[in-house]
Chain A
Amino acid sequence: EADIYQTPRYLVIGTGKKITLECSQTMGHDKMYWYQQDPGMELHLIHYSYGVNSTEKGDLSSESTVSRIRTEHFPLTLESARPSHTSQYLCASSEKGAANTEAFFGQGTRLTVV
């Protein structure tokens, strides 16, 4: 079992609220990622980081922001949630400098914006 944790697992919030999805890993991985996935559908990369103070936007414009102040922590923030943000958010991590290492995924956060 991978040591990467996401909280909360499920979240229902109202439109306009600010929320932060937490992701932590204890494997010392430098690379971390956020993917958005509608149920049973493909994954879309929304943010990634190659290390502390390094963040990049992915392929999907999700109107969210991330920070990487500590190696083990990569939170995702929605400043003003909308119903279109309803989805599953998956966090992952992998070793730095080795493209051939697999990514480890958290259990995901299922977000519903009402």
Chain B
Amino acid sequence: AQSVAQPEDQVNVAEGNPLTVKCTYSVSGNPYLFWYVQYPNRGLQFLLKYITGDNLVKGSYGFEAEFNKSQTSFHLKKPSALVSDSALYFCAVSDSMGRRALTFGSGTRLQVQP
């Protein structure tokens, strides 16, 4: 079975500071990893994904994520946070065979203070 853990319910960061939202995963075989963002009363929006290749993946709105196979992690990062980045962030995983739908983590609320 595949699973995702987001150990922090909430992350607080000051505007302009770097941010990290943590994610670890468990899956059979090679993982496909995704980050989504959700604003209030909206669906999820895709941010970025890791499939293969370079461990540092760049995505929308200046976000990037680092894949670490030995630590089974896929942390989301941004060098300089904006107040408008405040939202709910979800990490998701699927196995390379695509046998199941995406499995999502429990979500991390990011709060960026002015």
Residues of A within 8 A of B (CB): 6, 31, 33, 35, 40-43, 45, 48, 58, 90, 92, 97-100, 102-108, 110
B: contact size bracket? 20 to 34
Contact status A105-B32, CB under 8 Å: no
In the complex, what residues of A have CB within 8 A of residue B102's CB? Answer: 33, 103
Taking a contact as CB atoms under 8 Å apart, the answer to whether B46 and A102 are in contact is yes
- Of the listed stretches B13-21, B66-74, B78-86, B90-98, chain A binds B90-98
Take A42-B105, A42-B107, A48-B101 as given contacts and tell me if A105 and B94 are in contact as well, using a CB distance cutoff of 8 Å.
no
Q: A99-B95, A102-B34, A108-B43 are in contact. Are A43 and B109 (CB under 8 A)?
A: no
- Interface pair A105/B44, CB less than 8 Å apart: yes
Contacts of B101 in A (CB 8 A): 31, 33, 45, 48, 58, 103
In the bound complex, do residue A105 and residue B43 qualify as a contact, i.e. CB atoms below 8 Å apart? Answer: yes
CB distance from B45 to the nearest CB of A (A): 7
**Cβ distance A22 to chain B, nearest Cβ, rounded Å:** 14
**Chain B residues packing against A (C-beta within 8 Å):** 32, 34, 36, 41-46, 49, 51, 88, 90, 94-107, 109
Interfacial chain B residues near A43, Cβ < 8 Å:
44, 90, 104, 107
Query: Once the chains bind, are A99 and B107 in contact (CB under 8 Å)?
Result: no
Shortest distance in angstroms between A38's beta carbon and chain B's nearest beta carbon?
A: 11
- With most chain B CB atoms within 10 A of its CB, the pick from A6, A103, A106, A110 is A103
Query: Taking the nearest CB of chain A, how far is it from the CB of B111, in angstroms?
Result: 12
What are the residues of chain A within 8 A of B34 when measuring CB–CB? 102-103
Assembled-state Cα–Cα distance A97/B43 (Å): 24
